[in-house]
């Protein structure tokens, strides 16, 4: 069931979101980072919840990435962490390994759907290695590095025949199940899906 829109911030749970751009060159100032603005722009449009942001721009170092994810979840208390960059097959692409190293559970379906979306555009999408994991009560998702691909991955391909849902449609219910805040989306940007039994705001940590 898709959620209807509601006034932004009107009684909705506050959510703390970590956004992490992983790039040697952007983190060293060789070029301007575009991943963090792309993530923040899409999420600001998609979510009606008030958001507290935690942004990090870091190099492609596995230990640094893992430490950043642990900090955002364990110390800062982020409910949702999205990374961008470092998910290809190149030697310096280690974001998936760093993410899996801090995981309590992996959720393979997110990566499978991301590659399905990417294959609508380029055959090299099969080289992408994004993963999604749960650590404590936080959902951590790797995303592509390009702003256009970030938006397509999160929002899907609504004009395709048949339409291809983006991965964010499943994020609110996943966050419900791990005891996080109740996320409400703007259906014009992303229609979140919850089972009918979970349509009403549940008690913390209860499955629908």
pLDDT of residue 163: 83
In a domain, 10, yes or no: no
In a domain, 205, yes or no: no
In a domain, 86, yes or no: yes
In a domain, 51, yes or no: yes
Query: For the whole model, what pTM was predicted?
Result: 0.91
Angle value at C-alpha 87, between 75 and 96, nearest 5 degrees: 45
pLDDT tens-place string over residues 110-159: 999 999 999 988 999 999 999 999 999 999 999 999 999 999 999 998 88
Domain of residue 118 covers 15-198
In this structure, the chain runs to a length of: 208
pLDDT-derived band at 3 (thresholds 50, 70, 90) equals very low
In a domain, 1, yes or no: no
CATH assignment of the domain containing 50: 3.40.980.10
Number of separate domains in the chain = 1
pLDDT tens-place string over residues 23-60: 999 999 999 999 999 999 999 999 999 999 999 999 99
In a domain, 208, yes or no: no
At residue 10, the 3 state secondary structure works out as coil
**In Å, how far are 3, 23, 129, 183 from 170, measured between CA atoms?**
12, 27, 19, 11
In a domain, 92, yes or no: yes
In a domain, 5, yes or no: no
């Amino acid at each position: 069931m898709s959620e209807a829109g509601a006034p932004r911030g009107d009684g909705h749970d506050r959510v703390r979101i970590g956004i992490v751009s992983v790039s040697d060159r952007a983190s060293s100032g060789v070029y301007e980072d575009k991943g963090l603005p792309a993530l923040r722009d899409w999420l600001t449009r998609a979510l009606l919840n008030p958001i507290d942001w935690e942004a990090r721009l870091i190099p492609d170092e596995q230990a640094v990435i893992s430490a950043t994810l642990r900090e955002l979840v364990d110390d800062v208390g982020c409910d949702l962490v999205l990374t961008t960059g470092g998910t290809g097959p190149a030697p310096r692409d280690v974001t998936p390994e760093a993410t899996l190293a801090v995981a309590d559970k992996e959720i393979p379906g997110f990566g499978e759907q991301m590659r399905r979306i990417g294959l609508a555009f380029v055959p090299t999408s099969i080289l992408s290695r994004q993963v999604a994991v749960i650590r404590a009560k936080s959902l951590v998702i790797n995303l592509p590095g390009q702003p256009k691909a970030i938006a397509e991955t999160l929002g899907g391909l609504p004009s395709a025949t048949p339409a291809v849902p983006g991965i964010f449609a499943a994020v609110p219910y996943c966050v419900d199940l791990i005891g996080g805040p109740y996320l409400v989306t703007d259906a014009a940007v992303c229609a979140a899906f919850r089972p009918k039994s979970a349509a009403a705001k549940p008690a913390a940590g209860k499955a629908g």
